[in-house]
Amino acid sequence: AGIQRLKDFPRPFWLALFVEGTRFTQAKLLAAQEYATSQGLPVPRNVLIPRTKGFVSAVSHMRSFVPAIYDMTVAIPKSSPSPTMLRLFKGQSSVVQVHVKRRLMKELPETDEAVAQWCKDLFVEKDKLLDKHIAEDTFSDQPLQDIGRPIKSLLVIASWACLVAYGAYNFLQWSSLLSSWKGIALSAVGLAIVTILMQIMILFSQSERSTPAKVAPGKPKNNSESSEARRDKQQ
């Protein structure tokens, strides 16, 4: 129902789907590799196995009014540190390279099963693309395009910063916290508590601390093979 309401949405929109469904960690990659091996699927090296149910639902409901899918693959150059929440709060920049490919919606298969397989095949291509980036530190031989910093985003952030600073200044004047040593001490303690809580939240936001995915047990190929295995064990 939510996707159908987008059909008459009055403004242009993007629907962003992270088809892997979770953050990438080495533990989750290992689980995905074990699962792929048990199911006879291509074993991933740089991506997780996509969870296609949401993608299939989005395609089936938006096919008539969304013209294209932008397939985006993100990688960090070897010379650049990984972007983290802590680096963002410190104002430290990182370089991120994004490979974008426009895929027309009308070129996708018609059935849900075929769309799901299309998505899985797409992630096999992403895996190879990331192999190239790891080896050559670039996605392709084409020159990189620096998109710069959008002026609109800068204006939005600056406006919010001024609004928050103005509100904080008025609050301090109203409360008279900085007019006495007791008020200054309370302000310092409150600032320290907020800083500690932010550090804790940042640490828990790191992908390495997320719970690794559990591997689904492999299913036997057919009943005859399992019955033969049971007979072998009995003998």
Which pLDDT band holds residue 66 (cuts at 50, 70, 90)?
A: very high
**151 vs 153: CA distance, rounded Å:** 6
Q: What is the pLDDT of residues 172-222, one digit of tens each?
A: 778 777 778 888 888 889 888 988 888 787 777 665 554 444 444 444 444
Which of 114, 120, 154, 150 shows the shortest CA–CA distance to 52?
120
28-32, 48-52, 84-88, 189-193: lowest mean pLDDT where? 84-88
The Cα 154–Cα 150 span in angstroms is 7
> What is the reported pLDDT for 235?
41
Q: How many Å apart are CA 45 and CA 124, to the nearest integer? A: 9
Listed range (79-83, 102-106, 223-227) with the worst mean pLDDT: 223-227
Structural domain spans, the chain:
3-136, 151-209
Query: Rg for the chain (alpha carbons), in Å?
Result: 25
Residues 6 or more apart from 132 whose CB is under 8 A from it?
Answer: 138, 139, 140
Residues 69-86 have a mean pLDDT of 88
Question: Which of 45, 38, 21 is closest to 125 using CA atoms?
Answer: 45
Please report, rounded to a whole number, the percentage of residues in the chain having pLDDT higher than 90: 46
Query: Over 80: is that where the pLDDT of 144 sits?
Result: no
Please tell me whether residue 151 adopts helix, strand or coil conformation: helix
Q: How far is 207 from 47, CA to CA, in rounded Å?
A: 14
Q: Say how many CA atoms lie within 13 Å of 144 toward its Cβ.
A: 11
The pLDDT, as a whole number, for residue 208 is: 54
* pLDDT value of residue 234: 43
Burial 107-117 (b: 16+ CB within 10 A, else e): eeeeeeeebbe
pLDDT, the chain, mean: 83
Split at pLDDT 50, 70, 90, the class of 50 is very high
Rounded to a whole number of angstroms, the distance between the first and last alpha carbons of the chain is 57
Q: How far apart are CA 60 and CA 91, in angstroms?
A: 42
- pLDDT: is 207 or 85 the higher one? 85
Burial of 32 (0-12, 13-18, 19+ CB in 10 A): buried
Better-predicted residue by pLDDT, 203 or 68: 68
Q: Is the pLDDT of residue 125 over 90?
A: yes
Percent of the chain at pLDDT > 70 equals 87
Q: Is 126 exposed, middle or buried (0-12, 13-18, 19+ CB in 10 A)?
A: buried
